[in-house]
């Protein structure tokens, strides 16, 4: 195939302990480390490997959001993507709107495959890939832990609750990456320098999609209820007694 489109979302780094703002208006993101959504990094790594096997010519990374998301796109270019597109918008973008924006880019770029992370670790929605394939009227293979491209089709192993499911899908299609699809490469310094000269186009949301969607509105944010402090026991006998006291044995 000629092109693979990969989504890179800018999210709070997975090592950050997220806190709700005191006024309940959202979670604290000021001064917090931001990174590529880990599942999206895996999606990009998979696209790069497909290209390295000679099964794709060009990898395009896409982000939607604030101008700062250019940092994540530059990291994607340093990992090995060929070019980047930032769909700039100051507003919150719902999964449905994200899918619509990707669809508009698909109509421009005509990729043979779109690989997204299975979920963003910020809102944990797990929706965009499924929505995009629905709007595109193409197959979806979510939670992928193995992906083989065989000409016009792909064979995808999916991590489902019951075990490992294998699907065969016609291309083009949308695949969403799960944790064990691969281990992303580290970016080397020369690659970061090289990435500075790779093309990064900025377009506005309105250039792609003008209609609004009926969005689900956040009302208030709260911290989860904390579990009460527990007890420490000295040995197995103490553990068994404690369990019996709670009526669990």
Partner 1 sequence: MSKILIIAEHTNDTANASTAKCIQCATEIPNAEIDVAVFSDNGESVANEIAKMDGVTKVIRIEHDANSNPMAALIAPQVISISKGYTHIFGPSTTFGKDLMPRVAALMDVNQISDVMEILDSHKFKQPIYAGNAIVTVEAPTTVPVVATVRIASYRAVGSSGSAQIESAELDIDLPSHSRFIGIQAATSDRPDLQTAAKVVSGGRALGSEENFEIIYDLADSFGAGVGASRAAVDAGYVPNEMQVGQTGKIIAPDLYIAIGISGAIQHLTGIKDAGTIVAINKDAEAPIFEVADIGLVGDLFDVVPELKAALG
* CB of residue 76 to partner 1, shortest distance in Å: 21
197 sits in which H/E element = none
* CB of residue 53 to partner 1, shortest distance in Å: 21
Residues 165-184 that bind partner 1 (CB under 8 A): 165-170, 173, 178-180
- Total number of residues that touch partner 1 (CB under 8 A): 84
Contact 132, 111 (CB under 8 A): no
Name which of 35 and 140 has its Cβ closer to partner 1.
Answer: 140
Residues 123-162 that bind partner 1 (CB under 8 A): 123-135, 137-143, 145, 155, 158-162
Buried/exposed 158-167: b ≥16 CB within 10 Å, e otherwise: bbeeeeeeeb
CA distances, 3 to each of 9, 204, 218 (Å): 19, 22, 36
At CA 88, angle to CA 86 and CA 92, rounded to 5? 120
* CB of residue 236 to partner 1, shortest distance in Å: 4
Name which of 202 and 243 has its Cβ closer to partner 1.
Answer: 243
Q: Is 99 in the site for partner 1 (CB under 8 A)?
A: yes
Contact 184, 43 (CB under 8 A): no
31, 186, 190, 220: which one binds partner 1 (CB under 8 A)? 220
Q: Is 89 in the site for partner 1 (CB under 8 A)?
A: no
Residues 179-218 that bind partner 1 (CB under 8 A): 179-180, 213-218
Q: Is 222 in the site for partner 1 (CB under 8 A)?
A: yes
Phi-psi region of 5 (alpha: psi -120 to 50; beta: other; left: phi over 0): beta
CA separation for the pair 191, 183 (Å, rounded): 18
96, 116, 144, 149: which one binds partner 1 (CB under 8 A)? 96
83 sits in which H/E element = strand 83-88
* CB of residue 125 to partner 1, shortest distance in Å: 5
* CB of residue 241 to partner 1, shortest distance in Å: 10
43 sits in which H/E element = helix 38-52
Residues 10-39 that bind partner 1 (CB under 8 A): 12, 14, 17-20, 27
At CA 50, angle to CA 184 and CA 166, rounded to 5? 90
Residues 51-80 that bind partner 1 (CB under 8 A): none
Residues 105-124 that bind partner 1 (CB under 8 A): 118-119, 121-124
């Amino acid at each position: 195939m000629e092109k693979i489109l990969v989504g890179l979302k800018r999210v709070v780094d997975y090592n950050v302990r997220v806190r709700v703002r005191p006024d309940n208006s959202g979670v604290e993101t000021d001064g917090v480390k931001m990174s590529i959504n880990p599942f999206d990094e895996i999606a990009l790594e998979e696209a790069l490997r497909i290209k390295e096997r000679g099964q794709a010519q060009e990898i395009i990374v896409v982000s939607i959001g604030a101008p700062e998301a250019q940092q994540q796109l530059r990291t994607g270019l340093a990992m090995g993507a060929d070019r980047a597109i930032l769909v700039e918008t100051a507003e919150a973008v719902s999964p449905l709107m994200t899918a619509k924006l990707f669809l508009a880019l698909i109509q421009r770029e005509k990729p043979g495959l779109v690989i997204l992370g299975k979920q963003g670790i910020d809102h944990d929605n797990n929706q965009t890939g499924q929505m995009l394939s629905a709007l595109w009227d193409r197959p979806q293979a979510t939670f992928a832990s193995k992906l083989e491209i065989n000409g016009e089709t792909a064979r995808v192993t999916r991590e489902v609750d019951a075990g490992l499911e294998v699907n065969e899908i016609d291309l083009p299609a949308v695949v969403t990456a799960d944790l064990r699809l691969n281990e992303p490469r580290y970016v080397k310094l020369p690659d970061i320098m090289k990435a500075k000269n790779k093309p990064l186009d900025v377009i506005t949301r309105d250039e792609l999609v003008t209609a609004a969607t009926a969005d689900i509105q956040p009302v208030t944010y709260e911290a989860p209820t904390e579990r009460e402090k527990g007890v420490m026991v000295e040995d197995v006998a103490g553990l068994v007694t404690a369990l019996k006291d709670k009526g669990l044995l």
